[in-house]
Each structure stands twice: as C-alpha cells, then as structure tokens.
Structure 1
C-alpha cells in the first residue's frame, strides 16, 4: 500500500473509532461505506468487530430505508469469526446485516428441521460453512484414498438432501450458500506413497467439482469457490484454533469468504454495476498521450507495456459479458480518437466503447455525462484510474460510483479491478452479452429523436413492436434478472428466482408473461414481465417490471392497455393491482391511477387499486402489440380488442 493509502486508512480508522466512542455509529451508518472502502486487513477486521456490536434495530430507527440482508450462518464447526467480517463487508456496500448464528456443528439439524431457529429467521442467505475438516471427521486410520472417496460422496449426497430441504422450508427467494473444501497438506501427506497421494488429490478435486456443479442460482443454491483464495496465499486452517476452539478456518479464510458472500448478497439484490469507465494514460496504456502522441503510447513490445496489454484482455472479457465500457480521459478528443482507432497494440476501438469523454474538465462531470447518455445513474458506474487525485474528485463529485484504486503497477490492475466483484450477477444471459449493441442502437434512436420535429413523430417513426406472451423456459433467467436488477419500474420491488418463476408458470391460475420489444433499430429482446393471477374477483396484477432502458417509448402503457382489454373481452369483473413503495419506484406511484385505476386500500408503503373495465385506455397508436395470454391464443392488438384471458 502506498504512503497515501496508509494515511487514508489511518484517517478512516480514527474517524470510525471516534464515532464508536461517541455512540454515533448507528446514526452515521450511511456514511460508513466510504470509510470502510479505505480499510484493509486488520483495520477492516477491527471495524467489523466494532460494527458487529451494533443493534440493527438502532440503525433502522435512525435510517429506516437502509437496505438489509438477513443471513443465517451455520456450519460443521464454530463460525463465530465470520460475523464481524461479514458485517464489515456488507457495510462496505451500504447493506445492513441482520444475522442469525447457529451453534457449533449443528448444520444438519439446522437445515433438516423445518421448525429450526434458522428457518424462523427467514434468511435471504443461509451460509453453510464447510471447513477444511469436512469429510475428514468421518475418516479413521488406517485409511486409503478410496475410503476418502466414499465419505466424500456421502457428504455430497447429504448436502444435496439438505439443499432440497432448504428449498422447501426457506423463503422462496432465499439462497443456500455452500463452499468448496481446501485439501490440507497435513492430510494429504499422511500418505507416503506418491501414487496414492496423487490419487487422493484427484478424488478431492472431483469432490469439489461435484460441489461446484451443485451451484444453481435458478434453484437458489450458490457455491463459493475457495481455491482462488488459497491459491493467493490465504492459509485455510489454524491447527491450534482447531484443536482448542473447534474453529477450523483461519481469520484470513473467513475474511475472504465474507467478501465473496457480500458480493453474492449484492448480486442477488440486483445491485451489479453496469458500466466500467476507464482512464487512458497509465491505466489502459503506458505513456501520456498528450506528451508521447497516439503512435508512441504502448500496450505491448516491452515487459511493462505488456502488463497493460494483459489488463486490456481483462477489459475485453468483461465487455463480452455485457459490461458497458467507456472512457473518461483528460486529453484532447482528436488524439484519443486516433489512438483508439488505429493503435496496433490496442485491438479495442472506439466502437467497443459506448461512450468516450475526452476533455480537460472534471472527471466527476465526465462520469455524470456518460451515465446520463446511457440512461443509468452514476451509482451504476465503476471508475478505474491510476491517479489518486482523480479518484478523489470522482468520490466527491459522483457519490455512489464505485472507485477502483489503481496504482503505478499495471501488473496489478486486474487484481484491483476484480477485487470487489462489482459486475457479479447470478448468471449471464444472452441479453447481457448483447447489451453494448443495444446501447449503440439507443444512440441511433437518440439521433433520430433529435432529428424528429416532435416526440410523437419520433415514436411513430420507430415502428415499435411489442410481443407479450407466456414466458418460455429459456426466458426465465432473463425475467429473474429483470426482477433483481430493475428498480425504477418494478411496481412492488419483488425479487424472484428462476425457480420461483418456473413454479408460477406451472400454476394454472397464474400468468407469467414476458414482454419483448423491437423497433427499426433492433431487437431489444425481453424487456419486461407481468406477474398476474386469476380468481373470482377478476385478474390480479401482482407485479409489472419493465427495463429502464425502454421506458418512455409507451411499451409499458401498451402492455397495461392490452391486459385491461383482454380482461374486458373475457367479461371479468375487474382488474386489481398494487404498488409497493421501494427506494427507487416512487415515480411510479401514479402509474395505475393514470390508467383509470381507483385506489381501494392505502397503507404505509403499499397501495391497492381496482379497474372496473368501464373505460379502457387505448394502446398507444405508435405501438403494434401482439398479446398472447396462453400458448394457444394470439392476436395483434391495435386498439382494445385483445385476446381473451
């Protein structure tokens, strides 16, 4: 760590101590994430121990809108050291831990008993920590590798059974988290034969591979791979703590576990970042463009320049999975354009970046400009720069944006960028992979909009086509992703897993409808979803979710008008709906009333509505709507004559 970084860490540590001494940690909770972002190692561990003493109720009393994560921790042995680290890691991301810690060694009973305190906690995440003695506690000497293989298989089958029980007894959106198990040298080297030792290594890797194959976000199971931690030099066990305290994981391993678990919690909330904004000089290439010129900055042909080339490959990999790439550089635009367009060391070109801001203004302003152009908040941006000054400018001027502390060692750029898992998602969909292309289509639409004489003419010229129909099995992952990541037009804030969506789709009284959109500039794919249910009172709209990137085109209005028309055609008595307040959907409070719904019940944070189907809103004239409420019905809707329900 640089001297400046050490000074910043000490400053943050002293500020945290002062808040604790004054009894003000709960009141200052929203500001803690910025402080904790500067802490590492022992300093972060100490912060976690302070924060673990907080009563979550005190934080919520001071800040009721603080996002919470309910986590239950259980395991084969003591996991007491995990909670402080987990508390700190979640606080770093602005989340408040509401914990339940089970007793030592009772994970089978905790997960098998539907009446256990673990399930009574109603966790969002259940962490079942498999320590390095997993399997070995049932192996007795003298043993051979095949006996370890038998015990490993028994453990795998037990975990599969417990995972099924968790799916049955935990809340629908809850995740069970398992982990791979490090193979300790003190077990492997009890085999003196090299051939037998190699056989054990293969068996153990197969066991961990089987655990990793259990990972299924659609079914609410995640498996954290601890091998990258141990490969980075983290020791897995402490024999003394294991012998005397039944604590078989080192503090460093639990800290790494907590970090990965916090990233998972954030991903499951739909809080993954969308755009990576990069500096150029000292970040993507070696040299200063203004001094060296476009032809002399390098990302190859020397050991140091080659390190920048390796970082470029990381950027390419992230971009291939839907991370939007952008540039914010203090340079003149023309040399930047030339360097990106034709430099032999730099295969990425201007076309690979959805936005390039090259000027001499504030980089915080550049971040806001990029975010506004993409239609995303600054909080969805990750900014990477090797200049400590520029990072501080962005922290101050674009609060909410994640800032990656690169330094003057390009060989570690990738490590710094990936440390916080900013772009982690439960799974990558085809829509993710095509995201950059859709944002380029968005630019074409914006140019068309600027040329149109008015907004309605622009919409009419788009040729918007909307298809609404039962979600296919290949679309459930995308719909789950929308429910997780869509905040603005998510009318109840509900978060659903793919498994829950598949279950709803099989319910004869439920409707899970995918909203697909296209226009003259391209196919947007699945951009929204409707969750509804039929009963004696009519049709109940349990939630509507529409991606922010298509709002303003009338797509959501067309979908609602089509549903109301279909309910009327089916002679249903009414359509019922609800809006539940979240931190981001306040702007949609008036959505249903604007379409003819009347308020029936209004409580704190939730409002229910009813539409009597007497006066139906029209489908917007610029939208061609095709509505299918069952696989066997299909009809194009241009006014209010949709297919029946």
Structure 2
C-alpha cells in the first residue's frame, strides 16, 4: 500500500472509531501525504468534528475563528478550509452566513458574523459578482459602472468591518474571475478587448485595497485560474446558487490557510536544500565538482530555474542552508568555482556536508542559527531523506521534490511557507545579520571573557515612538516573538497602528547596532500612561539579540525616563505563554515588586516599580530613549552620572 493510500485509510479509521479529536496533533503528518482528492475526502470528515472536542482533548491546539460570507452560497468552503488549516496544525472554529448575505453580515454591527468574533472574515466574491446587477442587453460601459459601484460598496463594508470586528481582525477579499461566457457575449472583438481591460482594472483596484495595517487582505485568484483551476460550475450555479467550482473553493481555502498562518506570524525562516538532484543535475561524488550541471543543458536549465526561485526567496529574507551527503571539500569547490552555478558558499548561512543523517544535519543547522526545527523547510528529492526528517525533526516542513526538476519550484511554493503580511527592510537584511552574528560568535570565542567581549562590541540602542514605516516590522515581532515576550500577546499591524496613534497609548520601537552592523528593529514596548504611572502592557525583544544586555538597557532606560517625565510608578506584568518562562524573573531583577492585577485571572503576575533605587543602564550599551515626541531624549551617559538617591 502506498504512503498516500495508507494515510487516507488512517484518517478514515480515526473517524470511524471516533478518535479524530484525540488524534488531532497527528493530522498534519497524515494530511501532508494526501493528494487533492484525498484532502477533499478528509475535509468532509473533519468538518463533522466539534472543535470543542478537539480543544477538550488538546487545550493547546491553535484555534482560528473564521467567519465566511459571500455573494452566493459559501457553505462548500468550510470542509476545504477545515482540512487546509488542519494541515498546518490549526483548528477551525467557523461560522458561515446565508446565501448572498455579505452586505447584511458586514454592515450590521449586530449580525451573527460579528457575534462570532472572527479573527478572519472571508468575504468570497464569486464569478457572478458585478454581473448580477448588469442590465441586459449590456455594453462594456454598463459593466464598468457596476464594477465601480461594487468597489465603492466593498470599501464601505471594509470600513464597517474595521469598526465592528474584534481588534486585529482581518477582512479577506478576492479578485473576481472573468468568465468566457460573459466575454464572448460580445461579438465585437474590440468591445471584448475593452471588457477585458476594464475588468482587469476592477481587479487591480481590489488588489490595491490590500492594507495589513487597516486589516484588509486580498487573495488574487488569477494565478489559480491560470494554473488550470476552473472558476465556476454552471450547473451548481443554476441549481444551488453556488457559483464557485469545488476546485476553486479548494484552492481558495489553501490560500486562506496560508494567510491565516502568516497573520499569526507562523512563517518559516530557513530553507534547507539538498544538492544532488535538487539544486543541480548530477551526483557530486560521481561526477566531481566540474561535472555537475546547473544551467548548460535543457534538463540542467530546469535546475537553473529552481535556483532562481531560491535566489528570489533569499532576496526577501529567507535564510538558505545546505544539507548534503557529500564530503565538504568537493561541495565547497562546486559552490565556489562552477562556471554555470552563480550561487556560492557565501549565499548560504550554513552548510552541512557529511555522511550523517539528514535529520541530524537539519537539527545542527537550526541550532547553529538559533532557531527551532519548526522554523525550517527541508527540500530534497530523496523519499528516504524526506521521511527521516519528517519523523525526527519536529515541526519542520518537508517539500516533496521528485525526479522532475521542472516542477521543483511549484512544489516549493505550493504551501506559502515563507509568506508574511509585508516584507520589511529587516527581512531583506536577515541573512547579513546572521552572518554578523557568526562574526560576533567568532569574536566572542577569541575574547578573554564575556564582559570584555560585550564592551568591545560598541552596542548602540535607540528607543523611540514607532514611525509608520516601522509598523509592519513591529507587527512581525509581536506575532513571531516567543522567548522574550512578557505577556504572549499578539498584535497585528492595525492594532499597533491604532495604539501608536492614541493620545495615551504608546508603541516604542527598539533599534540596535554594533560594530558588526545594524540589526534594525529588534524589539518593541507597548503600553499607556495615566495618573497612576506608565503601564507596560508588553515588551518583546528578538531572540537574535538576547544575551547582549539590550533588554536590560531598555527597561533600565525606561524607568529613568519615567522619572524624568514625573511619573509616580511603572507597572508591568508577566503572563505565561508558549516559550516565555525564562523571562518571568525579568521585572523583579530590575526592582519591580509583585502586586495584584485587577481583573486578571490565571497564572500571570503583576508588577509595580516605585522608581526608587534604580539601576544604571549597563555600561557597555550606549542608549538613547525618548518616551514621546514632545519629551527630551534620555542618554545613558546622563543616567550613569546620576545616583539612585539623587533621582
């Protein structure tokens, strides 16, 4: 029995025995083996699960509240959406509106859609969007008028969603496929071209509505239909008011699941690549460094196309690494000198070339980069190697490559592992910052002690109110930072933008640099001020800069700045989250005392600092901190000249 058939049989057996809820953590590995038909069958089974049963068996399961509405019947989307989310370890808590109810659902603050409190609202625009209001007979001009009316309506509904949905919720729209049965009702080729042009302008306007900071995302369906997905089923449309084909809904669900994962910050960071049969044509151990080919034949050209895909991902912050069963010296020679292979060893942040287990190699790469195996995507054309990594590298995504290199790019991009709401400058410079980290580590190894190493780094930290161009990066940190995250709270760009603009709330961006380079935005502080003092709602610092005293300098500086601002106290709290246990003692180490937190339940701890007996900012950090645009800059040199008794 094939692995695919066995996985499908296992899912069915779990359902038949009533064990699906209890086995939910096993599903990503099983569903990864299924083809589209298998996923369709599994989706129908999973849609019958009660999410409460899954959460009762596994309280830590990551659940996503999603509301689905649209211009026509949308119930067919739920099974596909359920299984696509399950593939990524997410649990759907769904709500679907009635047929054609999207205007009422989104405009009415008392609608069932808003009562569901979704974090994602999918407003499905089917292929009859616009056409149901076009008069008959019609000319392209009539379609243009209705398309513009539809765009204006959607803009109004987006505003209503922003006002009535929970903070941080995202409204998801989509482009609308143009059906041949409409274009070819125009017998004049000139008019047909005019219709095509205005329709593309309508879809372009929809795409321009995408704005992560405003809580709007737009899925582009044209790449799906261009790949051969039929947009409609005329029979379902006529008899069931369901104007999207099952194939389109399945593809839509896949893209929506990628979006849900990206909005939660669950984005992979590193692509670990095999070499032989993956990045080049040939076997290095047999053909030698000069014999493997990357571009000079038709088949090798397919590998070259895959290499360009990899380069494109790397240009946007995806870290590249190699895990190859080869001797290190031939690998280095092939990467350094091959005439038709532009990538070099310097393009990879880590290269593991030996004859050990690929699973161990992936773990070694992740540990060396300071990331979890779950942040890794592994691509290899060997079934054995893929299975070994899947079995022993927890959470790592495995890309199913095969002997056809022309399809490598499609396989790699199929699941949007590296998707983010918006690519930032910090993303684009990620590889260089990891190289800077490696240079720091070499410098540290040669230092006589850690304190002298820190003094020699020349660390500079700037803390200031967040600017608009920094919001996307701060949202990334809020969504993706686990280790140094005082409360575990996740904020999207729209929430952060509102907090940054509030009269009493604040968002402070933390930027760091040292002799090895500029780390960019590495942290953020969120909170508000009132008569009782400054309330630090959360503080996040990227794990890549921990251990340099930056987090200590920021909190020490914040306390001194609060004194300068005449505030009576600083309040903070720690709440347990996925991986933040190590920072439970962070506030007490800086002089905070535990206090009761009004209205809070659970295992969290509230803290208060009376702003007496302040610590100086660590001497090896040069800090500049400004609480607000109207207040002066605090510099660490000034703090060092003060004593606790004089403050």
- Residue of structure 2 in register with 1:181 after alignment: 176
- Residue of structure 1 in register with 2:378 after alignment: 383
**Are residues 1:499 and 2:497 paired?**
no
RMSD between superposed Cα atoms in Å = 1.4
Give 3-state SS (helix, strand or coil) of 1:311's partner: helix
- Residue of structure 1 in register with 2:392 after alignment: 397
- Residue of structure 2 in register with 1:195 after alignment: 190
Deviations, residues 361-409 of structure 1 (Å, cap 9, x unaligned): 0111111111111111110000000000000111112121100000000
- Residue pair 1:627, 1:636 contacting (<8 A) in 2 also: yes
Which of 606, 609, 630 is residue 608 of structure 1 equivalent to? 606
Which of 94, 97, 102 is residue 102 of structure 1 equivalent to? 97
**Are residues 1:24 and 2:19 paired?**
yes
Which of 316, 323, 326 is residue 318 of structure 2 equivalent to? 323
**Are residues 1:631 and 2:629 paired?**
yes
- Residue pair 2:532, 2:569 contacting (<8 A) in 1 also: yes
Give 3-state SS (helix, strand or coil) of 1:487's partner: coil
Count of matched residue positions in the alignment of Structure 1 and Structure 2 = 638
- Residue of structure 1 in register with 2:3 after alignment: 8
Q: Gaps (5+ residues) in structure 1?
A: 1-5
Kindly state the Cα deviation for residue 640 of structure 1 after the two structures are TM-superposed. 5.8
Kindly state the Cα deviation for residue 571 of structure 1 after the two structures are TM-superposed. 3.8
Kindly state the Cα deviation for residue 584 of structure 1 after the two structures are TM-superposed. 2.3
**Are residues 1:125 and 2:120 paired?**
yes
- Residue pair 1:173, 1:495 contacting (<8 A) in 2 also: no
Give 3-state SS (helix, strand or coil) of 1:481's partner: helix
- Residue pair 1:564, 1:613 contacting (<8 A) in 2 also: yes
CA distance in 1, matches of 2:131, 2:540: 48
Farther-moved stretch of structure 1 (589-598 vs 280-289): 589-598
CA distance in 1, matches of 2:350, 2:55: 39
Which of 615, 618, 621 is residue 619 of structure 2 equivalent to? 621
Kindly state the Cα deviation for residue 166 of structure 1 after the two structures are TM-superposed. 0.6
CA distance in 2, matches of 1:236, 1:330: 44
CA distance in 1, matches of 2:603, 2:108: 34
CA distance in 2, matches of 1:355, 1:151: 54
Farther-moved stretch of structure 1 (587-596 vs 438-447): 587-596
CA distance in 1, matches of 2:220, 2:503: 39
Deviations, residues 22-56 of structure 1 (Å, cap 9, x unaligned): 11111111111110111121110111111111111
Kindly state the Cα deviation for residue 631 of structure 1 after the two structures are TM-superposed. 2.4
Structure 2 vs 1, CA of residues 640 and 497 (structure 1 numbering), >3 Å: closer, same or farther? Answer: farther
- What's the TM-score, normalizing by structure 1? 0.97
Farther-moved stretch of structure 1 (262-271 vs 184-193): 184-193
Farther-moved stretch of structure 1 (172-181 vs 572-581): 572-581
CA distance in 2, matches of 1:230, 1:385: 28
CA distance in 2, matches of 1:22, 1:259: 28
Deviations, residues 576-601 of structure 1 (Å, cap 9, x unaligned): 11222222222222222222222223
- What's the TM-score, normalizing by structure 2? 0.97
- Residue of structure 2 in register with 1:449 after alignment: 444
- Residue of structure 1 in register with 2:402 after alignment: 407
- Residue pair 1:566, 1:641 contacting (<8 A) in 2 also: no
Kindly state the Cα deviation for residue 568 of structure 1 after the two structures are TM-superposed. 2.8
- Residue of structure 1 in register with 2:471 after alignment: 476
- Residue pair 2:289, 2:333 contacting (<8 A) in 1 also: yes
- Residue pair 1:69, 1:96 contacting (<8 A) in 2 also: yes
**Are residues 1:264 and 2:263 paired?**
no
- Residue pair 1:565, 1:641 contacting (<8 A) in 2 also: no
CA distance in 1, matches of 2:82, 2:367: 33
CA distance in 2, matches of 1:605, 1:350: 47
- Residue of structure 2 in register with 1:3 after alignment: none
Give 3-state SS (helix, strand or coil) of 1:592's partner: helix
1:246-645 equivalences in 2 (<5 Å): 246-601=241-596, 603-632=601-630, 633-638=632-637, 639=639
